């Protein structure tokens, strides 16, 4: 571990130890009960709510430390990296910062104990990159909030207890209408699709709200909140970037071990200079990708990372980690393409990095808008 992330060293070491001693066996068991035990254990070990306020059981650790932990967990096991991301850089950061006190006490505290996880529902069938075109509505009726609409592509919705649901409170048709509620998954009028399997083998869910009624105190934030919500979402974006970095780190190390072992033409593959240069290029890309991410994390306030630095990290990491995983596959030859080797799954999962949390093109729009000093609105002129 280098000086830049020295403060994270103890946490990263503890994460690797916890994986070896306690988490690995539970992951191998793989049952629902084992996953529940794993979550509780992570809560007891202090790996839940690491960025969240101490007042609710969190640790208020710097985002950079937390990203290093998620990357280390991801190297150990992709599912563990996913859990670490959801527990530490998921939408609960926005709840901790923006929700009324009673909601924070209830939900943030439970997540910090490893008792619950929360999904995020932003995308809709007709509002993907153009997220502010969302039409899911929230209407306050006395002491209830009534939701109508649907969401798409929601990750881990089956395993989560609730969703931070972005929705429209006003009728002006502008982003100013957008706020958010906590939607418990047992709410009347709420249902989940069976899930669509993505190319990494995970399920993405549709959420349906059909006159779904919640206590009105489940409103996190009403109108004019989109900008505030997205500021926290930048921390979440970097959490998923840490998972991509973990995949690339795993693939690079695996490929290095492999070419030192595998012999062709009577020599180790590692003797061939063409392959040595591939390994060197992979390392240069991994370090560059990490440094861009660590910069964004180091400059963040809590989970609120700078938009430009987050976009730069997102764009570069999605491309670089995809190339690193693909080069690792190439270094393993035909074996790399086989499912019994761990590389192809890492490549498939990493491919999502250019899609979720804003696509590569959308982040490039934002970077260009910043550089050119333009709002760079993508909306068709009236």
129 binds ligand FAD (CB under 6 A): yes
CA distance 181 to 229: 11
Q: Rule CB under 6 A: is residue 150 a binding residue for ligand FAD?
A: no
* Residue number with the smallest Cβ distance to ligand FAD: 128
328 contacts 342 by C-beta, under 8 angstroms: no
373 burial type by CB count under 10 A (0-12 exposed, 13-18 middle, 19+ buried): exposed
Distances (CA, A) of 31 to 37, 43, 48, 186, 196: 10, 19, 21, 22, 21
Among 11, 47, 87, 153, binds ligand FAD (CB under 6 A): 153
Comparing CB distances to ligand FAD, the nearer of 5 and 123 is 123
Is 336 a binder of ligand FAD (CB under 6 A)? no
Minimum distance of ligand FAD from residue 359's CB (angstroms):
3
Residue 49 binds ligand FAD, judged by CB under 6 A? no
Query: Which of 38, 180, 191, 59 shows the shortest CA–CA distance to 114?
Result: 38
Q: Following DSSP, what letter does each residue of 159-227 receive, concatenated?
A: T-SEEEEEEE-SSSSSGGGEEEEEEETT-TTEEE---EE-TTS-EEEEEEEEEEEEEGGGEEE-SS-HH
Structure tokens given for 229: 């919500």
Of 122, 138, 219, 230, the one binding ligand FAD (CB under 6 A) is: 122
Among 105, 191, 196, 361, binds ligand FAD (CB under 6 A): 361
Nearest-approach distance from CB 243 to ligand FAD, in angstroms: 11
Q: How far is the CB of 128 from ligand FAD (least distance, A)?
A: 2
By CB under 6 A, the count of residues binding ligand FAD is 21
Taking the least distance from each CB to ligand FAD, the nearer of 53 and 128 is 128
Minimum CB separation from ligand FAD for residue 340, in Å?
A: 24
Give the C-alpha distances (Å, rounded to integers) separating 302 from 66, 228, 348, 372, 374. Answer: 11, 13, 31, 28, 28
Q: Is 246 in the site for ligand FAD (CB under 6 A)?
A: no
Measure Cα distances from 82 to 44, 59, 195 in Å: 18, 19, 18
Q: Give min distance, CB of 132 to ligand FAD, in A.
A: 12
Q: Decide whether 235 or 352 has the Cβ nearer to ligand FAD.
A: 352
Interface residue list for ligand FAD (CB under 6 A): 119-123, 128-129, 153-155, 198, 204, 352, 355-356, 358-359, 361-362, 365, 378
């Amino acid at each position: 571990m280098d000086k830049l992330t020295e403060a994270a060293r103890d946490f990263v070491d503890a994460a690797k130890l916890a994986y070896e001693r306690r988490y690995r066996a539970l992951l191998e068991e793989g049952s629902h009960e084992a996953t529940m035990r794993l979550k509780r254990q992570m809560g007891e070990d202090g790996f839940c709510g690491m960025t969240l306020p101490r007042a609710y059981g969190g640790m208020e650790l710097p985002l950079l430390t937390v990203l290093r932990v998620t990357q280390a967990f991801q190297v150990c096991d992709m599912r563990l990296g996913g859990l670490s991301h959801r527990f530490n850089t998921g939408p609960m950061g926005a709840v901790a910062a923006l929700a009324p006190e009673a909601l924070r006490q209830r939900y943030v505290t439970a997540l910090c104990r490893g008792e619950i996880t929360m999904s995020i529902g932003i995308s809709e069938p007709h509002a993907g990159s153009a997220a502010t075109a969302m039409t899911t509505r929230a209407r306050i009726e006395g002491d209830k909030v009534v939701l109508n609409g649907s969401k798409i592509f929601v990750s881990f919705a089956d395993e989560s207890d609730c969703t931070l649901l972005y929705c429209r409170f006003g009728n002006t048709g502008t982003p100013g209408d957008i706020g958010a509620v906590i939607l418990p998954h047992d709410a009347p009028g709420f249902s989940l699709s069976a899930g669509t399997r993505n190319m990494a083998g995970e399920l993405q869910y549709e959420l349906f709200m059909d006159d779904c009624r919640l206590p009105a105190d489940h409103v996190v934030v009403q109108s004019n909140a989109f900008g505030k919500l997205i500021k926290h979402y930048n921390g979440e974006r970097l959490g998923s970037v840490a998972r991509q970095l973990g995949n690339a780190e795993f693939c690079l190390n695996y490929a290095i071990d492999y070419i030192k072992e595998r012999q062709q033409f009577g020599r180790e593959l590692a003797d061939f200079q063409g392959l040595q240069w591939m390994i060197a290029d992979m390392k240069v890309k991994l370090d560059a990708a990490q440094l861009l991410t660590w910069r964004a994390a180091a400059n963040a306030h809590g989970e609120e990372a700078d938009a430009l630095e987050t976009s730069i990290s997102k764009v570069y990491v999605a491309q670089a980690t995809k190339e690193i995983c693909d080069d690792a596959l190439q270094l393993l030859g035909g074996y790399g393409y086989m499912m019994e080797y761990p590389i192809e799954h890492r490549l498939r999962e990493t491919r999502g990095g250019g899609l979720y949390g804003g696509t590569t093109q959308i982040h490039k729009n934002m970077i260009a808008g910043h550089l050119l000093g333009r709002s760079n609105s993508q909306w068709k002129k009236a």
